[in-house]
Structure formats: C-alpha cells, structure tokens
Amino acid sequence: MDGKLTIRQWVAIAFLLRLLVMPFTLHGDLLHINKYPYFLSHGDWHVYEKAASDGVNYYPPLALIFISAYQFLAQFLFPPFESFLRSIAENGFDSVLSFDNLFFSLFLMKVPYLFFDGMLLSVGWKLLPNDEERRTFTVFWAVNPLAIYAPYMMGQIDLVPAFFTVLACYYSLQKGRGNLACLSIAGGCLFKVFPIIFLPLVVLVGGRNLKDYARLALVAIVPVALVYGGFYWISGKAVFKMFLDLSYNFDASQSLRILLLRVVQAGVYALVAVHILFARQGEIDCPLLIDYFLLIFLAVGGGLVLGVTQYWLWFIPFAILHAQRQPQRRAVFYVLLALIFLGGLRSRPAALGIFAPLNPEFFLSLPALQDATGFLFNQGTYDIVIDLATKAVLLSMAVVILKSLYGSAHFNFDWRRIIAR
Amino acid sequence: MIRFLTGLVFMAALGGDVALAGPPGLMERVFFYNDIYNFVGKPYPSPDFGRVRAVVQPFVSNCSNLNRVTIPFYVKDDARKGTLTFNLYQTGPGTKPLFSTAVDVGQFPSSAKIGTHYLAGVIHSIWFPPQPLSKKQNYFWELRADPDRPASGVGIYLTRPANAQLEPVSIDGVKGSAYGAFYSYCQFRFEWNRILSESGERLWREKYFLSFYLVLLGGVGAYFKKYAGK
C-alpha cells in the first residue's frame, strides 16, 4: 500500500494527524461531555440530577468519574483550563468560541483519547500474528477518517468503549481470561452502553457450561449494577434518563420496521451463538472471534442512525482486522465508509463548522453535505436511499461472513457434545 | 383586510421592497451563519394561537446581514387552520417595522419529529431582505393571529434556559420568564481580509500554547525521521 514507511512511522503519522486537529476543532458534544464532570471534580455528586434538570442525559458513571478525575488533575496543573470548564458549566456554551484559552482547552479535553487510542492500537497488535499484519492494521487505523473525526474533532467518547470491546476480544482468546473479558465489557458499558451487546458473545466463548455462563455473566453485570446502584442512591432515577430517552428506539410495538429489524438482529445473534456452541473444541481463534464481533456489530449497525457518525467507530477496529485478512472484501469496507460520509456530516457544526474555533462566523457559514444533497435531491428520498444502501451493505456483509463461517471446518454439528455440557 | 393594511404600513415604511422578498437565491441558501440557536433545554408548547393574539420575542443580532428567522411550530394536524402574521421590527431609538408576511397554517406540512429526541411539529423559515447593519442591533419578531382568518391548532415552542441574546417572550403583552424556541440567521459575505485578520487574531491570542504545540509537532516529525527505513 505504502511501500516504504515503517510501523513506527505510521504511528507517528497517526499521532500527527490527531494532533493537527485537536486544538482547532469543536463540536457541542465535547462541551456536553466535559460540562457535567466539572461538578463532580468540585465535589458535587448530584450530576445526573443536574443533567436531567437541564433536559439532557449524561453518559454512564465510569465516563463521569474518569473525566472528572482527569479534569481534577488537569485543572490543578493548568488553571486556565479550570476557568474554561467553569465557564461552560455555569454559563453554557454560548460564549465558548470567544474564550481566551480556547485552543489550549480543546487540546486538553481530547488528550485522554490519545491514551486509549494508543492502547487500542497496542491490543490490536497483540491480536495479530506478525509484523506485516500489525503494520497494515496501523496504516488502516492511522488514516481512518472516523478514528480521527469522532474522538479528535467531535470529541466523542466512543473510542474508549471501542477500546474496551477490543480488549474483551483479546482476553476472550486467552485461555482462562474469560473473567477479564467480561470485566472489559463491564468497563466499556460504564463508558457507553453499547458494549453490552457483546456480553452474550463473550460469555459463550469464555464458558464451557451453564455454570460458567452464569459466573461470567455475573462478573460483567455485578460491577455495572454496583456502580449504577451507587449513583442511583445519590441521584435517583435521573441516572437512568439516557435509557428512557433512547427507549423509543427499542419499542418494537411502535413500528413494524423496528420489529422486523429486531427479528433479523436476533437471528444473526442466534446464528453466531449456534456457531460458537458447535465450533470445534479449542478452535475459536483470532480470525473467527473477530468475525463473531463483526457479525454482532453488523446486525446492530442496521438499527443505527447513519448520521450519528461516532457510533460507527464501534466497529472500525473489527472491520479493519477483518478486511486486512480478506483483501477482496476491502472494497466493501470502503463503500461503507463512503456511505457513512454521505449519510453523516449533516449539520454545519458537524461538517466544516467543526473548525469554528479558528473563525466561527466563516466556518459555520460554509455548507454541510446536507445543504448540497438537499439542494440537488429531495432530502427525504436521499436519506432513505442512503439508509437502505447502508443496510443492504451491512446485511450482505453479514450474509457473506455467516456463509463462510458455516462453510468452514470450524463448524462441527455435534448435538451430543452440547448435551454433554 | 388586516393583512392588507399591515402590508401597506410595511410598504410605506420601507419603500415597498420588503413585501417583495420572495424565495431566496442560491447564495443566501448556501452561505449563512446561524446566530441564535434557541431550540434548547426542554422546549414546551406555548398556548394555542386560537387562545392568544400575539407572541413577541425580542432579540439582539450578533451578526451582520440578518435575513432569516426559523420557528418550530407544534401543530395539531386535525385542528390546524387560519393565518398568522409575522412582523419583524428593529428597536433602539424608536421602533421601526422592517418586514411583514403571512404564515398560512393550513399550508403547513404534517407534523413530524423535530429536535433530537421527542418533539414533533413543523419547522418554518421566514426569509427577509438582509439587514446589513444588524450586528449588535435590537430587534423583535411578532406572530399575530389574523382576526379575519384566526389561526388555531398551532403554537410555538417555549424554553427556559437563559440566552444572552434574548429577552423573555411576551404573550398578549404579558412577559414571563420563558423564551421563544427559534433560530435566527445572517447571510455570510466573503470579505477575505476580515476573515484572515480575525483568524490571525485568534491564533495570536494563544501564541504561548501554539509555540508549545509547534514544538510537539516538530518532535513527532523528528521521531518520524528517526525511524525512516528502520
């Protein structure tokens, strides 16, 4: 692909690309993510009530604790950062673009993502057998537009749970490390809820019988329940506001479309589960496990809103790990990235307006992709076409991977072994 | 009749050009700045225009060439009817009418989901000729029920969070603590000298951090060079 550059040079390129955008890009999500932890970093634990009284929800408790701890440290070291955070916490976001230490504050708010980014890269390397594959993974990750845009331009936190999900995949491959895999899922869930979808998969891979399954599930569920329980004790049901706000997305009784989608998703999950149960003993290797994770995401991805760009970061590590082993499927990966671009970047603040810190009036006045598509086409029709095309790509990828799974030597349809468990 | 008289007043005040503000051109639709974004917090419905006569929302524009106000309406699909009159005034020394237009509620599309999560309604844009000196000027817009074709089954959204650019909304002359949930826009003009000097000022303001940042970038460059070919 690139010919000459070494893996370390690609790491430097990855770092450079991220550094280049960190101080000069801002999205409201970054301010929201950093607003509420400010209160906790100053000793006020009633954060979820504050968010609920503002009519918004906040991320799960570990995200809150982690960002608060980071802010506590950073405010201590860099006092201007404290005044920036106090300004967004107390006065809202209206005057943020005229703040004196804006570039510096934006840079600091995104620094923790560099740590998780590096960790994700390092776990990705551990999943791969040789330097050449590690290098390919690094190239794909270094220049991946989503891996740069979502955390370092939007400031979204999804990179952290994505790291925990990859870590769960890594531990699932290590014999006797099922507990750590489940704890990784729990860690991810406490930053953002989505890694919970991988829990049944990790439990099935890590366990051998019902007792194992129950134990592993508890290893993941108990820490999550304890942390949520602690915050429920402090903030009451406000801690669950996120689930209530998103519940319309899960109410199958409201729409036949949602019902159909859930049936397809359950079907894919069931096929993955059956494959795990009937896989030959000890033959769940790295490529197979990556396929499992990717399949679960492909099923879930059918229900995601294409415009919420950061959600697609969840699957990028697995898509890269899959695509680098299957060069003939890389085109599909590129098509999917193109569709995410065509369906995302809808609002001006999320498109070129993300560079508003450099000149708010100029960058926020430049059109977003939706302005062009809305002018050229009927926007509603365009959205439906892109959405259906994405679902078709996800479904066809899922079918192809399932077909290859069930056609491989890994699969051994032996009922007696399952009953013996 | 009232619409006709209001139109005459506005035409007299502005030499007749405002009433002719038709669909905007491509440049206005492409390059604009969203100045006020007040569909925030937990918006809730105002009283139905079947029960109130006028809603008045004062605001300060923070950009030049103010030329659009966008108002999300809640709509009761089976009961909506009638006409509202939208008026825009500049305040300061005296109150100066700038623009007036009718909003036919019956022509609204069906109510659809708006906002991020849970609200439904219709987002309606009202374009008017750009106001070149609008930066830091005071204005108010008004939605008034048309006595000839009274509107009903429709209202705007109100919201509580304070906004430095807004005064609370008045409903039939009564000012409460809520604000109208709406957006305002200015047409953007490409004055490159101003754009570059503003960007330069912003960068210069943080010269110490940017010096450190450049050293950091240089360090990454040095690392890149060190491992070339290894």
Task: Give percent above pLDDT 90 in chain A.
Answer: 57
**B52-69 pLDDT per residue, tens:** 989 999 999 999 899 999
Per CB-CB distance under 8 Å, the chain B contacts of A365 are 31-33, 188
Nearest one of B52, B83, B113, B229 to A6, comparing CA atoms: B229
Q: Which of A5, A9, A50, A379 to mutate to test the interface with B (most CBs of B within 10 A)?
A: A9
Which pLDDT band, with edges at 50, 70 and 90, does A155 fall under? very high
What was the pLDDT predicted at A280?
62
Q: Of the ranges A320-329, A408-417, B35-44, which one carries the lowest mean pLDDT score?
A: A408-417
pLDDT digit string, tens, across residues B141-170: 999 988 888 888 899 999 988 888 999 999
Q: What angle (nearest 5°) sits at the alpha carbon of residue A268, between those of residues A389 and A190?
A: 90
Which candidate, A184, A10, A15, places its Cα nearest to that of A110? A15
Q: What token pair was written down for A275?
A: 């494959």
A418 confidence band (pLDDT: 50, 70, 90) = low
Q: pLDDT category, B195, cuts 50, 70, 90? A: very high
B32 to chain A: which residues are within 8 Å by CB? Answer: 365
Domain regions of chain A by residue span: 251-344+377-421
CA distance B94 to B57: 17
Give the mean pLDDT of B121-131. Answer: 91
Distance CA B155, CA B211 (A): 53
Instruction: Choose among A19, A367, A375: nearest Cβ to B217.
Output: A19
For chain A, give the percent of residues with pLDDT over 70.
Answer: 93
- Give the three-state DSSP class for A25: coil
The per-residue pLDDT for range A66-81, each reduced to its tens digit, is 999 999 999 989 989 9
Contacts of B203 (CB under 8 A, 6+ apart): A103, A358, B210
In a 3-state reduction of DSSP, which class is residue A99?
coil
pLDDT score of B229 = 64
Phi, psi dihedral angles at A380 (to 5 degrees)? -60, -45
Split at pLDDT 50, 70, 90, the class of A417 is: low
Q: Which of A27, A53, A54, A94 to mutate to test the interface with B (most CBs of B within 10 A)?
A: A94
pLDDT tens digit string along A161-171? 999 999 999 99
Q: How far is it, in rounded angstroms, from Cα A418 to Cα B6?
A: 82
Distance in Å, alpha carbon of B47 to nearest chain A alpha carbon: 21
The single residue listed with the structure tokens 């057998």 is A129
Q: What is the predicted pLDDT for the residue at A412?
A: 63
CA distance linking residue A292 with residue A205, whole number of Å: 10
pLDDT at B46 over 70: yes
SS3 string, A118-131, reads HHHHHHHHHHCCCH
> How far B59 CA lies from chain A's nearest CA (Å)?
14
pLDDT at B4 over 70: no
Nearest CB to A365 within list B165, B188, B228: B188
Which residues of chain B make contact with A102, given a CB cutoff of 8 A? 202, 206
The span from the first CA to the last CA of chain A, in angstroms, equals 47
pLDDT at A143: 94
**Candidate from A22-36, A238-252, B196-210 with smallest mean pLDDT:** A238-252
| pLDDT higher than threshold 60 for residue B17 | no
Mean pLDDT of chain B: 84
Q: Say which of A16, A359, A364 has its CB closest to residue B202.
A: A359
Nearest to A364 among B30, B34, B165 (CB): B34
| Torsion sign across C-alpha atoms A50, A52, A54, A56 | positive
> What does the pLDDT average to over B196-210?
95
- Give the CA-trace dihedral at A411, A416, A418, A419, to 10 degrees: 170
Q: Is B207 part of the contact surface with chain A (CB cutoff 8 Å)?
A: no
Pairing mode, strands B83-90 and B66-75: unpaired
Q: Is A55 on the interface with B (CB under 8 A)?
A: yes
The reported pLDDT for the residue numbered A419 is 62
Distance from CA of B12 to the nearest CA of A (A): 33
Identify the band that residue B8 occupies on the pLDDT scale cut at 50, 70 and 90. very low
Q: Write out chain B residues lying below 8 Å of A55, CB-based.
A: 41-42
Asked whether the beta carbons of residue B224 and residue A16 sit closer than 8 angstroms, the reply is: yes
Q: How far apart are CA A330 and CA A326, in angstroms?
A: 7
pLDDT exceeds 70 at position B117: no
If you measure CA to CA, which chain A residue comes closest to B216?
A19
What span, in angstroms and rounded, lies between the C-alpha atoms of A294 and A302? 13
pLDDT, position B15: 36
Distance from B115 to chain A by nearest Cα, in Å? 12
**Is A3 at the interface with chain B, CB within 8 A?**
no
Tokens of B84: 């509202």
- Of the listed ranges A10-14, A256-260, A309-313, B39-43, the one predicted with least confidence: A256-260
Q: Residue A332: what pLDDT?
A: 87
pLDDT tens across A274-308, in order?
A: 888 887 656 788 889 999 999 999 888 777 777 78
Write down the ipTM of this complex: 0.85
What's the farthest any 2 CA atoms get from each other in chain B?
84
**pLDDT given for residue B140 in this prediction:** 95
The whole-angstrom separation of Cα B227 and Cα B149 is: 77
Task: Tell me: pLDDT of A160 over 70.
Answer: yes
Report which secondary-structure segment, H or E, holds B195.
helix B192-205
Read off the pLDDT of each residue in A8-28 and give the average, rounded to a whole number: 96
Mean pLDDT of A117-128: 95
- What average pLDDT does range A385-409 have in this prediction? 87
Cross-chain residue pair B224–A367, CB shorter than 8 Å: no
Q: Is residue A111 within 8 Å of residue A96, measured between CB atoms?
A: no
Cα–Cα distance measured from residue A55 to residue B39, given in angstroms and rounded to the nearest whole number: 12
Q: What mean pLDDT, rounded, does chain A reach?
A: 89
Does the CB of B158 have a partner CB in chain A at under 8 Å?
no
B84 forms beta bridges with B103, B145
In this complex, which of B32, B118, B164 lies closest to A365 when CB atoms are compared?
Answer: B32
Interface test with A, best of B26, B27, B30, B35 (most A CBs within 10 A): B30
Cα dist. B28→A355, A371, B18 in Å? 21, 12, 16
Give yes or no for residue B118 having a pLDDT over 80: no
3-state secondary structure of A385: helix
Q: B63 CB near a chain A CB, below 8 Å? A: yes
H or E stretch including B139?
strand B137-145
- Is residue A366 within 8 angstroms of chain B, CB to CB? yes
What does the pLDDT average to over A361-376?
A: 88
Mean pLDDT on A176-205: 94
